[in-house]
Amino acid sequence: MHIDTEEHMAEGGTENQDTLTIRDNRTGREYELEILEGDVVRAMDLRQIKVQDDEFGMMAYDPSFMNTASTRSTITEIDGANGILRYRGFPIEELAEKCSFLEVAHLILNGELPTEDELDAFVHEVTYHTYAHQNIQKLMQGFRYDAHTMGIMISSMAALSTFYPESKDVHDPEVRWNQIVRIVAKMPTLAAFAYRHHRGLPYVYPENELSYTANFLNMLFRIGVRDYEPNPVLERALDILFILHADHEQNCSTTAMRVIGSSLSDPYCALSGAMAALYGPLHGGANEAVLRMLTEIGDVKNIPDFMESVKRGERRLMGFGHRVYKAYDPRASIIKTTAHEVFEVTGKNPLLDIALELEKIALQEEYFVSRNLYPNVDFYSGLIYQAMGFPVEMFPVLFAIPRSVGWLAQWQEMLEDKEQRIARPRQVYVGEGERSWVPISERGS
Ligand code: CMC
């Protein structure tokens, strides 16, 4: 609302506590914007600010969404200053200690922890949708033996869309739920098939009597035996890692999921796009990049030279830093404990000493301290995955499997949110003004 403040105060008006007054010094006009829950103002309220009536009006300029809330969400809460992460209000530490991954998946997708009956029903549904159409295997066989498993995952997820054309009916809650169950169920199957393809091994089909993570480990690692029994410590460690990765509010890949979904694309295609966003080394590809970095450093004695090159800005210390966490990443603390439990079974990963030394130095040195750079979720997860026998190419896939739950919950929330429409940011055009076409013979060199 545009107000004339002096007149307003002279008439005995009082300042409203829940508003923001903006003064446009070009015109001297003042505007009162409503402050909403969460200390936000609506960017659309800026549009009324203009010098001439026929102008477009003011916008907020925010490259990379550094300070823009794109949604109101009830799924995941992060307090970056205090290192807090909660799903639907429950602290991540409690969920990681006390729940199974599918229990947490139910919580994230439905808003509440399941009762025993609800959990049984959900586990049953997921278990009975783990098989993928045989043609998906044929598709995978078209990839080169050394194809990156994320490339295979991204493609086969998009391909699944063609098997379920009804999934386009995104406004039908029942249709939506069927696809959610299918995707959560089939992610480990696709991942395991991609891995076996990569290794040139025959595919192992899902076993219905195994848990979500045990079934995954069975499809990955069973060779030459009829019954495969995963080590319970490793099975639980993977479950914990899945819980830690299940959602992380409006990060790059989740934003991709919401943006693609906002055009009413089906969830398989939207999730394929979210996986593509996750694949980059600044996001879910960081766990792979950490392992490659630690391998390249090779020895604790090479760390000082490496750290100098980071401080000169020549490279990044992968697995460090976060857009939101500025104190510590609570997931990294849990993972560090889990790593020690896994190493009791597998033996210590030889790269652990390098990782610990890097962390020690980074927590003391001014460059890292002044920029609030702490280990994030990806710093230690790769060490666990490697100790468990996963090749580095599988690391981003191990991030994508549990994150599919978060992507789907966020996609569903977006579709049910009356305020959301097709995502369409604005730009500030800074290119040439209008000019006339010139024949090619008359253009300079
Ligand atoms: N190593 C060295 N310097 C860094 C690092 C790093 N890992 N991260 C940030 N910086 C510096 C950066 O150079 C900049 O310094 P200056 O102010 O002198 O220019 C300052 O810290 C701020 O960095 P930024 O790039 O503006 O921060 P951002 O919020 O845009 O980026 C990040 C966040 C996670 C992309 C970044 O910290 C990074 O590249 N980290 C390494 C990759 C990584 O581990 N990613 C996984 C993130 S957690 C899992 C997930 O959610 O995907």
Q: In terms of domains, do 233 and 179 share one?
A: yes
Q: What is the pLDDT of residue 350?
A: 86
Q: Of the residues 61, 91, 108, which one is the last residue of a structural domain?
A: 61
Cα–chain center distance at 362: 25
Residue 437 lies in a domain: no
Active site residue 378: yes
Residue 439 lies in a domain: no
**Hey, what are 445's tokens?**
């060199």
Question: How remote is the CA of residue 355 from the centroid of ligand 1, in Å?
Answer: 17
Q: In terms of domains, do 57 and 103 share one?
A: no
Closest CA to 188 of 166, 221, 162: 221
Q: In terms of domains, do 268 and 145 share one?
A: yes
Residue pair 140/241 in contact (Cβ under 8 Å)? The answer is no
Question: How remote is the CA of residue 319 from the centroid of ligand 1, in Å?
Answer: 9
Residue 432 lies in a domain: no
Confirm or reject: Cβ of 369 under 6 Å from ligand 1: no
Q: What is the pLDDT of residue 348?
A: 87
Q: Tell me which residue has its CA closest to atom 4 in ligand 1.
A: 316
Dihedral angle sign, alpha carbons of residues 423, 425, 426, 432: negative
Residue 429 lies in a domain: no
Active site residue 283: yes
Q: What is the pLDDT of residue 12?
A: 46
Residue 76 lies in a domain: yes
Q: What is the pLDDT of residue 71?
A: 97
326 pLDDT band (50/70/90 cuts)? confident
Residue 330 lies in a domain: yes
Residue 33's DSSP bridge partners are: 20
Q: Tell me the backbone φ, ψ of residue 376, rounded to 5 degrees.
A: -105, -175
By most ligand atoms within 8 Å of CB, the mutation choice from 376, 380, 381, 398 for ligand 1 is 376
Q: In terms of domains, do 330 and 408 share one?
A: yes
Work out the angle between the directed axes of helices 149-160 and 173-199 (0-180°, nearest 10). Answer: 150
Instruction: Please name the residue that has the structure tokens 């409006």.
Output: 250
82-96 pLDDT, tens digit per residue, is 999 999 999 999 999
Question: How remote is the CA of residue 269 from the centroid of ligand 1, in Å?
Answer: 29
235-285 pLDDT, tens digit per residue, is 999 999 999 999 999 999 999 999 999 999 999 999 999 999 999 999 998
Q: In terms of domains, do 258 and 309 share one?
A: yes
For residues 76-81, average pLDDT: 95
Say which CATH number the domain at 214 has: 1.10.580.10
By most ligand atoms within 8 Å of CB, the mutation choice from 314, 320, 395, 397 for ligand 1 is 320
Sheet containing 2-3: which strands, arranged edge to edge? 2-3, 29-34, 19-24
Range of the domain at 207: 71-422
Q: In terms of domains, do 275 and 310 share one?
A: yes
Distance CA(56)–CA(237), nearest Å, equals 54
128-159 pLDDT, tens digit per residue, is 999 999 999 999 999 998 899 999 999 999 99
Q: In terms of domains, do 110 and 31 share one?
A: no
Q: In terms of domains, do 95 and 14 share one?
A: no
Q: What is the pLDDT of residue 331?
A: 93
Residue 440 lies in a domain: no
Distance CA(347)–CA(133), nearest Å, equals 38
Confirm or reject: Cβ of 251 under 6 Å from ligand 1: yes
Q: In terms of domains, do 53 and 148 share one?
A: no
Q: How many domains does the chain divide into?
A: 2
Q: What is the pLDDT of residue 178?
A: 98
Q: Tell me which residue has its CA closest to atom 34 in ligand 1.
A: 322
Q: Of the residues 61, 92, 110, which one is the last residue of a structural domain?
A: 61
Confirm or reject: Cβ of 157 under 6 Å from ligand 1: no
Question: How remote is the CA of residue 47 from the centroid of ligand 1, in Å?
Answer: 33
Q: What is the pLDDT of residue 229?
A: 86
199-243 pLDDT, tens digit per residue, is 899 999 999 899 999 999 999 999 888 788 889 999 999 999 999
Question: How remote is the CA of residue 372 from the centroid of ligand 1, in Å?
Answer: 10
Active site residue 172: no
Mean of the per-residue pLDDT values of the chain: 93
Ramachandran class of 337: left when φ > 0, alpha when ψ lies in -120 to 50, beta otherwise = alpha
For ligand 1, what atom is nearest to the CA of residue 64?
30
What pTM did the predictor assign? 0.92
Confirm or reject: Cβ of 283 under 6 Å from ligand 1: yes
- What is the amino acid identity at position 336? K
Distance CA(31)–CA(24), nearest Å, equals 8
Q: In terms of domains, do 297 and 224 share one?
A: yes
Q: Tell me which residue has its CA closest to atom 36 in ligand 1.
A: 321
Q: Tell me which residue has its CA closest to atom 21 in ligand 1.
A: 371
Confirm or reject: Cβ of 376 under 6 Å from ligand 1: yes
Residue 353 lies in a domain: yes
328-372 pLDDT, tens digit per residue, is 889 988 998 999 999 999 998 889 999 999 999 999 999 999 999
392-436 pLDDT, tens digit per residue, is 989 999 999 999 999 999 999 999 999 999 999 999 999 999 999
By most ligand atoms within 8 Å of CB, the mutation choice from 245, 323, 334 for ligand 1 is 323
Q: Tell me which residue has its CA closest to atom 11 in ligand 1.
A: 371
Q: In terms of domains, do 53 and 88 share one?
A: no
Q: Is the pLDDT of residue 8 over 90?
A: no
3 pLDDT band (50/70/90 cuts)? low
Q: Of the residues 34, 61, 88, which one is the last residue of a structural domain?
A: 61
7 pLDDT band (50/70/90 cuts)? low
294-311 pLDDT, tens digit per residue, is 999 999 999 999 999 999
Confirm or reject: Cβ of 377 under 6 Å from ligand 1: yes
Q: In terms of domains, do 126 and 248 share one?
A: yes
169 pLDDT band (50/70/90 cuts)? very high
Element (H, E) at 29: strand 29-34
Q: Tell me the backbone φ, ψ of residue 85, rounded to 5 degrees.
A: -135, 125
Confirm or reject: Cβ of 382 under 6 Å from ligand 1: no
